[in-house]
Amino acid sequence: MCGMRHWITRRRRVAVFMAALLIVVFAVGSAGRAHRGEPVRANAPPTRAQLVASLPRSVSIARIRQHLVALERIAGRHGGTRVAGSPGYAASVVYVQQALARAGYRPRVAPFPFVEYEELVERGLEVTPVRRGIELEAIDYSPSTPPGGIQARIVSSSGNGCSAGDFAQARGRIALAERGTCFIAEKARNAQAAGALALLVFATQPGPINATLGDPDASEIPVAAVEQSVGRSLSAALDAVVRIEIVTRKRRTSSQNVVADTQEQRGRVLLVGAHLDSVLLGPGINDNGTGVAALLEIARVVKKRGPQMAVRFAFWGSEEFGLFGSRAYADSVPRQELVAYLNFDMLGSREHVRAVYEGPYAALFHGYFRRRGLATERIDLTGRSDNHSFEQIGVPTGGLFAGGDACYHLACDRVGAVDFRILEQLAAGAAFGVASLAPHR
């Protein structure tokens, strides 16, 4: 037995050695795992550092593309648009609900009041100095002209139309102003106050203007856009006379936001949002199917990898007409419930810039891309998208944007026009923002 005793002692030594080896291996392994962002204990929830590392990598561009293809198909089945108030928008709401439910959420559809708007007649004629038809694009929520239209002399604004005095000569005339510096609604208010019969605006670059007054009651005078070249020639002419005829229809109705929380119990959350509606003219795949698709994918990976994160995903209705969905939500949510708001609108533009919203989270996002050797730009999108609704109630905001696009607000805003390389980078950046800012519970 001595042998045994030797043997037993030797077996005990081997066992002690093996145990020590196992401990060392486990310690080294878990350090490695911690470094690779994997949970240390199999059932330990991942730490913030681990989620910040793993979430951006877990976002699948293939799944994002599937969402975009589905949204384009929805538009295709409904007249090529997912504009607020349309069957295409209603189908988009159902699609988002189902995608969230598949990922384990209990999405809520929250209705909000909204004024549907339709353009029936948009006709323009330059009477003098050159008799010619001019293309007219009513600004969303423009009222109609009186029956038969308005014919009057053109008076250019003496400034950019943003001050009351800029339309001093416009009484009984049609005012003309270049776009920019302030919202079109403000120029319309100034022209109306000066007694103008209508306001025409023209863009600072060639191409159509597709804009909104933002508020159905913003102006009592008709407001429309003309091509840049037409605007310039009318403002250069001393005695230009124009005839315009606009017939629009407004209908008070409601639209919907879709909202889903990672956790059912109330408490402070990080709110992240993307608008779900498109403009009338196109399916809105870059604007803003890309934001919607990125958030649906991020919602999936958050639920899977970081359920302890308190995140509220929001898909806003009627952003294009004037931020109606996010404004209604901002007016109804208890302010203290929101830690911050991150906005994602147009993440796949062919201008493909990595633009970071100015604000308290800019450095966070710039740092993320810098560490990956990716250049970024700063952008101030105040008032331009749903972040504005939360800035209005004092919630700190941030977001990402891929820049302008030749198909912006047009029928060609389709899957084929999306830059998937920039979309993949910005979707991963968005996931990083969520992992960095979401409270853990």
Return residues touching Zn ion (CB under 5 A).
287-288, 345
Largest CA distance in the chain: 121
Minimum distance, C-beta of residue 408 to Zn ion, in the bound complex (Å): 9
Residue from 339, 354, 369 nearest 434 by CA: 339
Bond preceding residue 129 cis, omega within 30 of 0 = yes
3-state secondary structure of 145: coil
| Residue 136, Cβ density class (10 Å: 0-12 exposed, 13-18 middle, ≥19 buried) | buried
Minimum distance, C-beta of residue 252 to Zn ion, in the bound complex (Å): 24
Q: Are 317 and 111 in contact (CB under 8 A)?
A: no
Is residue 264 part of the annotated active site? The answer reads no
Minimum distance, C-beta of residue 285 to Zn ion, in the bound complex (Å): 11
CA separation for the pair 102, 19 (Å, rounded): 44
Closest to Zn ion by CB, 261 or 287: 287
* DSSP secondary structure of 189-244: HHHHHTT-SEEEEE-SSSS----B-SSTTS-SS-EEEE-HHHHHHHHH-SS-EEEE
CA separation for the pair 87, 81 (Å, rounded): 9
Minimum distance, C-beta of residue 345 to Zn ion, in the bound complex (Å): 4
Closest to Zn ion by CB, 149 or 322: 322
**Going along 8-54, which residue ranges are E strands?**
none
Closest to Zn ion by CB, 345 or 405: 345
CA separation for the pair 89, 216 (Å, rounded): 20
Burial string for 233-263 (b: 16+ CB within 10 Å, else e) reads: bbbeeeebbbbbbbbbebeeeebbbbbbbbb
Closest to Zn ion by CB, 245 or 287: 287
Closest to Zn ion by CB, 345 or 424: 345
Closest to Zn ion by CB, 76 or 404: 404
Instruction: Please give the span between the terminal C-alpha atoms of the chain, in angstroms, as a whole number.
Output: 59
CA separation for the pair 365, 330 (Å, rounded): 24
Minimum distance, C-beta of residue 367 to Zn ion, in the bound complex (Å): 26
Residue from 219, 349, 274 nearest 82 by CA: 274
Closest to Zn ion by CB, 97 or 288: 288
Alpha carbon distances (Å) from 16 to 19, 29, 176: 5, 19, 90
Closest to Zn ion by CB, 228 or 288: 288
CA separation for the pair 45, 110 (Å, rounded): 32
**137, 319, 320, 424: which is the annotated catalytic residue?**
319
Dihedrals φ, ψ of 233, to 5°? -70, -35
Bond preceding residue 387 cis, omega within 30 of 0 = no
Mind telling me the catalytic residues? 319
